[in-house]
Every structure is written in structure tokens, then in C-alpha cells.
Chain A
Amino acid sequence: MKGVNYKEFENSVLASYNQIKDNLSEDDNILCNYIGKFNQDILISIISLTEHALVQNSEQKKIRSRLLYVIIECVQNIICHSDDLPDNSQLTFLLVTNNDNGYQIHATNTILQSKVAALEEKIKSLMKQNSEGLARLFQKKMEAPSLDDGGNGGLGIITIMSKSERNFAYTMSKLSDDYSLFQLKIELKYKDFN
């Protein structure tokens, strides 16, 4: 595989995944955990299983909906924007946990180094927006969508930020000369729903 040592790549992604899992405390429960290649059928299964678990846990309906919205946007962001390796393989993950404070969603994308600067610039610009600013941007994109991005509307990150009340953080780690791992951490805090 030209320019990519797959084993090293795999080890780096797994190290990121294990680091998150190792940092979980006894109070954290894993609600959903998937690692590998994502597609729409897998998203449907994740939504179905997560919804079932939330109902079983008697979670409030508005929190259930909010969490499912965020998971949909995270996974579709992976499906649409994660760059496959040259052999068409993909190794990304989604991990959803719950504790007394709320829900934490970890999602990763592998992206080409050539796209890193533009993505970071876009995210940093969005992170400067307050809730009203994000709502305005959302409405503006609905009124005049740019359909040059594969029909995706470009609203995924705005939606994730908005629905998490801006409890949104990201890291960008270099995996190889060609690829970086874009890692999102999103929180839905119970206190924001009171």
C-alpha cells in the first residue's frame, strides 16, 4: 500500500480507541461501541440498538432524540467525509458512554493530510459562534444550500455543535505522512436539559 503502512495505521487508531476506553471510570457505562468501516446499514442498526437501550433505561424522550440526532450526524459525517485508505479499507470508531452527568460521544474520521488545514479552519470558525449564530447559519444553509458537497448540505458539524449546546471538542492526530485522525468528543449534559 503506497505511502501507508496499514499495521502502523491500525495500531494508531486502536491506540486512540484504547486510550478513551482506558480513561473510562467505573461510573461510565458503554452504550454503543463500533469499530471498523461504517455504512448506512450499520447506522440503522446502531440507531435501533441505541434507541432500544435508551428506552430500556427509561431515558427522557427529549434526551433520547437529541442523542440519536447527534449519532446520526456523526456516523453520516464518517460515511461521507472519512477518506478510505488506498486499498479502500477504513478503520474508524464510534463510542457512546453514559454517566451521572450525561452522554459522551466519541467519533473519528480518517482524513487526508491535504484536507486538514481547511477542515480545522472551518471548525475553528464555527466554534466561535454562539448558539444563536449557529442557528442563523443553519437557517441560512436551509434557505440557500450549497449542493456542491455531494448533496450533504454541509450542516453536519453545525448540527452536532448546536445539539450538544456547543459541548464539542476535537483533536487532530497525524497517523502517517498522508493521513490524520480527526477525533470528535461531544457531550450531552443532563443539566442542559433542565
Chain B
Amino acid sequence: MENHTRANDTPEVNFDKDTNTYSIVGNSYMENCIKFYEPIKAFIENYESTGRNELNLFLHFNLLNSSSAVYLAQVIIRVSEIAKKGLQVNVKWAHDIHDEELLELGQKLSSISKLPFEYLAIEDDE
């Protein structure tokens, strides 16, 4: 999945081909996480076949349910697998400055995948 429009319970997904930036931004507490995250996982798994040598991942969640965390972990693990094969990967994890739990989730994902994350503490709008 290259693009998806944001909804109340699903994030916006966008791939910027000029900058090789894949961003997932918004709430993620949909009922069927597998249906949403499987195409994202497939996009990552097929990324090598595009011939691109860089992937910039920008992740900025607001509300995120536990099922989304599980599927997101599977996506990040796939990213780390292609990074091991030589793809240059940069991960930016943005979170509300007051939301320590989202920061901790980013740290967990970084630890599980062994990918270094850059953390951006942002003052989200009300």
C-alpha cells in the first residue's frame, strides 16, 4: 500500500517517491488491524524490487491500540530485514511531547528490530 487517506481510526499513509519517504501519520485503532497493516508489510517486502537504495520511514501516531502495535512491530521487523541486505534505512518516530508511552513504544520497536530510531517530540495540536 503506497497511499491511504486518514480517517478517525486509521492513519494517513503516503509514499513520496522523490524523497523515498514512507510516512504513516494519525490514529491507529481500527477494528481489523491485519487488513490495514498487511498491505503495508507487503509494500515493505516488495521495496527491494523497486531498485531504490534508500527508505526513510516517518511514523507519527496519536492514539494507537495494542493490535496496531503488534502489526507495526511486524512491519518494522521487515524493514530491519531489508536494511541488513544493504538498504539504507532511516526511521523517524514522532510523538506528542506529553505522551511518554508512545516514546516507549518507539523505543521497544527500535529494540526489537535493532534499528536506530530518531525521536521527535512534538507539541501536537489540541
Contact = CB atoms under 8 A, between A and B. Distances in A.
B100 A143 contact: no
Contacts of B66: 73, 138, 153, 155-156, 158-159
A153 B98 contact: no
Contacts of A163: 101
Interface residues of A, number: 32
Secondary structure class of chain B's binding surface, majority of residues: helix
A91 interface: no
B78 to A, nearest CB: 13
Residue among B33, B63, B66 with max Cβ neighbours from chain A (10 Å): B66
Secondary structure class of chain A's binding surface, majority of residues: helix
Q: How large is the interface on B (under 10, 10 to 19, 20 to 34, 35 or more residues)?
A: 20 to 34
A139 interface: yes
Contacts of B31: 40, 76, 79
B29 interface: yes
Interface string B42-54: 0000000000000
Contacts of A66: 101
Nearest to A76: B65
A48 B101 contact: no
A139 B29 contact: no
B16 interface: no
Contact of B30 (A40, A47, A139, A145): A40
B8 A48 contact: yes
Contacts of A170: none
Given A40-B31, A142-B108, A143-B112, 7 more contacts: A40-B30, A66-B101, A69-B101, A142-B112, A153-B70, A155-B70, A158-B66
